[in-house]
Structure formats: structure tokens, C-alpha cells
Structure 1
């Protein structure tokens, strides 16, 4: 239940300036105010605290970290964000909210997770979570380099900056508490499969599908272990989606009838099996059951193959333009009309789902994994 606000907004900034010795309590009240802007939709176990949601990965959970970069992997222009707060194109690769936002909302933390590199980021945002994710990122360094995004090692460097800022705000002890109890979300891998391995024949000369997906899974495990080393204890590592059923991949490799591309899906499944084994092994080694592999493949495939079951009308095309190929720069107000009813579509553009689809998937994941999260 939403807590009543007993402190007026205009009092807080003044209180913060009264004395530096009151910094901790000032921060506490800011967090209290900030976290009362949304209702918790799931009930946490008794005595369980989740102060923040902290996100790493690719465009699925980017909220604008690429906005000032020279890259095609950005979407800080209409019609992206048409259904976001105020219809603003923030750099989220969807018509509205993305998974990180929805997870934070479900937990009652705040309505959305801002990009760490957002120039308008407020100090109190750090206390309740940010996303370091970048459109185009992958587990294989070449993947991110091709897209011009922010590689995972750099995302970790930003995370180090984040920790330093937290310590300056609330001190060492509170910072450790936030990191230990926050929910860490890692979503990556789609670009490695779709935009690296299958898009670049030279890569296939050096790797087989088996060796490439093994490289991805090993790097994913190392990334999770690094987060653990920083003090993270609730780490959710998502597998790859059924990339062969994404509209753009069906268009370029699915033949005249735009079928799901079996070899792409097979690569996703192979990566997922290796990633699951790696994360389970890491969890066992560290004796921490809350480092968890999350299956995203199955729930998204279900939406794509049985859209009507979830209230959708279209599962094989995006809402933007023809829905066959438009993504990022091709999805714009000048060349691509937008479907009037976004809730009819599983996909927003030819690569990224709609907010409605994300909400359904997140709800499924909470149902399946909630007890393991905490």
C-alpha cells in the first residue's frame, strides 16, 4: 500500500541545506518521497527490502544511455516513446516502458528506471536504481563495437562511478546495504546472435555456433561473478529470446512466407542452455541461490505464436511502418506511420516488443521466479 506523504515537497530541499550532518536523514526522506509515486503490485516477503533495481545490458533495457552518442543504436526521437510519460522519446526502444521500468513499478520502488547517463538524472534517482544498458551491446566485444554502443566493461566502470556517488551521499554502510539488497537485472545476447554471428560471415569462419555461444555464456558468467564481487547478491541473468521469430529476422531470413528462422532460434536455445548451466554452476560455487538464470525465450515465443490468447492481433510484424524491417532510424515520424492501436501488437518495431508485451512477460516471470528472487 502507498504510504501517506507527511512531508511537503517544498520542505525537503530546505531541510537538506540546514546541516551537512543531516545528510543521511535528508536522503532518507527524499527516498521516501520518491518511492511513494507508485503502488507495489507484488507483495514482498516479510522483512525483505529491495531498495533499488540496477540494470545492465542492451536495447531491451536501455533508457537513453546512447542518446548523445554517434550510433544508429539510439531512438531519442518520435515515434519512440509515444506512450511513455508525456509521449517523450527518452531513448527507450519501445512505445512505452521497458522491462527495467516495469520491474521497479511492480516492486513499488518507482515508476521507471532512468538512464545513468541522462544529463537530467537526479541524485535521489541513484538511491532507487538506474540502468547502465546500451543499445547494441553484446557479450562479445565485437558486437558492441559494431553497433557503437557502450560495452559491458564500460557499463561496469559507470557502475563503479555510481557506487562512489552513493558513498558520497549516504556513506559506506548504507551503500553496501543498497548494493546487497537491490535487484540486479542483466539482459544481453540478442545482438551477438542476430547482428554479429549470423550477420558477419567472417565471424563464422572463426567460430561455430557451439563455440560462439560458449564464448557468450562464459562472458555472461564472468559478468555476473564481477557483479557479485561488487557486493550484489540478487542477480538475474536473462537468456536470449527466440531471435528467429523477431519480425526483422523473419523478413531477412525467413523466406517468402516470413517463417521463424530455425537456425537463429537454435542458436538462442544453445546459448540459453549453456548460460543456464554456467549460472547454476556459479550459484553453486558461490553458495548463493539468488544468482538466477531467467528464461525469456519461452514466454516471448508463446506471445508470438499465440498472440490472440493474450489479447494481441499481430505477432509477426511491428507496429511501426510496415512492421517488416523498421527499427531505430527507419522507425521515424517522416517515413513510418504508426499503428493506431499499439496494444494489438506484440512488437513495437521490427526488433523490440511493445510495453504491453513486456508487461505480460514480466508478470509471467514474477509468477515463475518470485520465490527464488527472495
Structure 2
């Protein structure tokens, strides 16, 4: 009959406890124990590389995208460097970079601290992502359900529930619906006026928030849309020979934001035990465009890539002649997406104004 050495038992117990700590350590981040993970959904502003794993033209995994990212790597982020999910995760003390959920190399610790489900080109409108074959929001929700099951298999149902209930969820969508589906492609303009279409968008957004809540989310932020008429592509397409801001797009953006804010305030009261917040990105971007020099910017009406008037996604490539040398002087990287420098100002403003959600 063999006898167990007591010292071996102690060592085994310490090893087991250490292993368990590693497996679930993300539940209590060292800098912010209240936020174990960040989970984001939506469009290209929050896509950190999911479109790399889809058959779509909506990819940006090539230079000059990512030229100011760590290592100068084009990861699939729609900017020259970091994007809001990275910057928010860093400020919350969670991690440096937000990985895409569809990355097949993800480890359990990557999942425990949060991922991006977003897909560049997506919108609330089911029609919006069809042209580019990107992942719609209902598809992103399906992936979130798979994510929950992966967590349960790794750390158990109780720990998974704790992670989901304490994590910050952010949904960023709507820009493609207004700028592309409604005003550029005219897919919906033949059916709805602006007021009716923005009502539809708010209904879709509200439904998505409630679905997240039903799956356990309790800290949910939803961004409005920026002043879309002032992004370089809309100036080019609808701003006339002076490339002024397109007023109809800006008015639609403001109308949608007002309605969304009201709906989220209602949900915040309705969904018990939740914090549901409207995240304003319209005014921070407006402030940068109106007073660029105060924040160190010089160019407001075109993007850094190429002419910056129409280049986006595959039209912004290493073949684009004239791409700027210093993106930090530009508010926009390509004709639709801000630079990392501009994103930093917007993210800082958003976090400071929404402490109930983030802290």
C-alpha cells in the first residue's frame, strides 16, 4: 500500500489553486476589478479583424492600414493604428488590444477578457451588410451565444454569468445604414422618409439591446452616429463642388441620435438592474472638426490615405498615391474612418461623460 507524501499534497493543492486563478483571473482585472471584460458589436469602427475571416470586399488587412499599429501590421482595423475597442479596453485596465472573435487562434484567456464581434460594413438594417457579405448584427448575436457556451465549458456556468453581468458591452452601428443604405445606395429611400427610417433604426437598436440584456448583459452602451455629412466621402458625394458638409446626412444623424437617446433612457428604466447608456460621438467629432487646432489637428475635410476624398477599404491601398506622412495631423484616416489620434479624443470624452457605465 503506497503512502502519499504530505509535502506533495501541499504542492499539488498550490498548483491547482494557481491554475484556477489563471483560468478565472480575468474576472478581477488588476486595474479595474469591476470590469472583467469588454464585449463589442457593430460596424467597422469596432471591427478589429473579423472581416479578415469572411469572403468580402470589406477588408482592410493590407497596407497602408495599420501602419502606425504595433509592428506596422495591417490587422483588419479600419484606421492607421488602434481603434476604440483597443483604447477603451486599455483605459479600463483590461488589456492592450481587442481581438476579433473569429480569429481561430484565440485562447481561453482572450475570451475571458473580451472580444469584438463587429464586422466592417454592418448596420442595424438587415439590408446594409448584404452587398459586401459582412456579418449582420443578428449574426454577431449568434456568435455571442457561441461565446457564452465556450465560457461555460471553460469556467462553468456561475463564473460565466458573473463575467457577462459585470462586463461592459458596447454597440456601435447605424452609420452605414444612413450614409450608405439610405443616402448613397437608395435601398431604403424609395420606401421611407428620413423620419420613418430613423424610427426603424431605433427599433432595431432597441431590440438588440434587449436581446443582450436577456443573455445576461447589464452594462450596455450604445453609440449614436457621427455627423455623417462631414466625413470626407459624404462631402465628396453630396457636398457639392466646395465639398461642404452634406446637411441632409447631418440632419438625419442628429434626428436618429435624439430618438436613440430617448429610447435608451426608457430602456434604462425598464430593464431592471441595468445601466443602459447613450454614447454621444456626434458632438465630440463636431468639436474636432470645428476647432481642430485646439487638439493639434490640421486637416478636417479629407482623409490621410491618397486624396482622402473617396478612398476607403480596398480603394485605400499601398497603391494610393499621396497618402500623408503624419496621420496624427488628420482627423480622418481614409474617407470614412478617423485616425487613431482622433479616436483617442472621442474615446476619452465618451468615458469621462459616462462613469456609471464604465466604472
TM-score computed with the length of structure 2 as normaliser: 0.92
* Residue 109 of structure 1, aligned match among 91, 94, 99: 94
**Residues 11-160 of structure 1 aligned to structure 2 (within 5 Å):** 24-28=20-24, 31=26, 49-160=34-145
Are 1:293 and 2:289 counterparts?
no
- What CA distance in whole angstroms lies between the structure 2 residues aligned with 1:359 and 1:202? 34
**Residues 196-275 of structure 1 aligned to structure 2 (within 5 Å):** 196-275=181-260
2:150 corresponds in structure 1 to 165
CA gap of 1:102–1:270, structure 2 versus 1, over 3 A, is same
1:192 corresponds in structure 2 to 177
* Deviation at residue 23 of structure 1 after TM alignment: 5.6
* Deviation at residue 368 of structure 1 after TM alignment: 1.2
1:329 corresponds in structure 2 to 314
Give the SS at the match of 1:159.
helix
* Deviation at residue 146 of structure 1 after TM alignment: 2.1
Give the SS at the match of 1:146.
coil
1:365 corresponds in structure 2 to 350
2:332 corresponds in structure 1 to 347
Answer yes or no: is the 8 Å Cα contact 1:35–1:110 preserved in 2: no
Across the two proteins, how many residue pairs are aligned to each other? 346
CA gap of 1:122–1:336, structure 2 versus 1, over 3 A, is farther
* Deviation at residue 314 of structure 1 after TM alignment: 0.6
Answer yes or no: is the 8 Å Cα contact 1:74–1:328 preserved in 2: yes
* Deviation at residue 49 of structure 1 after TM alignment: 1.0
- What CA distance in whole angstroms lies between the structure 1 residues aligned with 2:90 and 2:186? 42
- What CA distance in whole angstroms lies between the structure 2 residues aligned with 1:60 and 1:54? 14
Give the SS at the match of 2:50.
coil
Answer yes or no: is the 8 Å Cα contact 1:109–1:128 preserved in 2: yes
Q: In the TM superposition, what whole-angstrom CA distance separates every residue of 1:269-313 from its partner, at most 9, and x where no partner exists?
A: 111111111111111112445111111100011111211111001
- What CA distance in whole angstroms lies between the structure 2 residues aligned with 1:110 and 1:372? 18
For structure 2, the 5+ residue unaligned runs are 1-11
- What CA distance in whole angstroms lies between the structure 1 residues aligned with 2:164 and 2:88? 17
Give the SS at the match of 1:83.
coil
- What CA distance in whole angstroms lies between the structure 2 residues aligned with 1:267 and 1:141? 19
- What CA distance in whole angstroms lies between the structure 1 residues aligned with 2:330 and 2:211? 37
* Deviation at residue 210 of structure 1 after TM alignment: 0.7
Give the SS at the match of 2:131.
helix
Answer yes or no: is the 8 Å Cα contact 1:330–1:336 preserved in 2: no
Give the SS at the match of 1:139.
coil
- What CA distance in whole angstroms lies between the structure 2 residues aligned with 1:282 and 1:172? 27
Answer yes or no: is the 8 Å Cα contact 2:224–2:278 preserved in 1: yes
- What CA distance in whole angstroms lies between the structure 1 residues aligned with 2:276 and 2:335? 31
- Kindly name which structure, 1 or 2, has the bigger radius of gyration based on alpha carbons: 2
Answer yes or no: is the 8 Å Cα contact 1:23–1:169 preserved in 2: no
For structure 1, the 5+ residue unaligned runs are 1-14
* Deviation at residue 119 of structure 1 after TM alignment: 2.3
Answer yes or no: is the 8 Å Cα contact 1:23–1:170 preserved in 2: no
- What CA distance in whole angstroms lies between the structure 2 residues aligned with 1:343 and 1:128? 29
> How well do the aligned residues superpose, as a CA RMSD in angstroms?
1.9
Q: In the TM superposition, what whole-angstrom CA distance separates every residue of 1:17-70 from its partner, at most 9, and x where no partner exists?
A: x87x976334135x49x967xxx5xxx6xxx51000000000000011011322
TM-score computed with the length of structure 1 as normaliser: 0.88
Answer yes or no: is the 8 Å Cα contact 1:136–1:149 preserved in 2: yes
* Deviation at residue 162 of structure 1 after TM alignment: 0.5
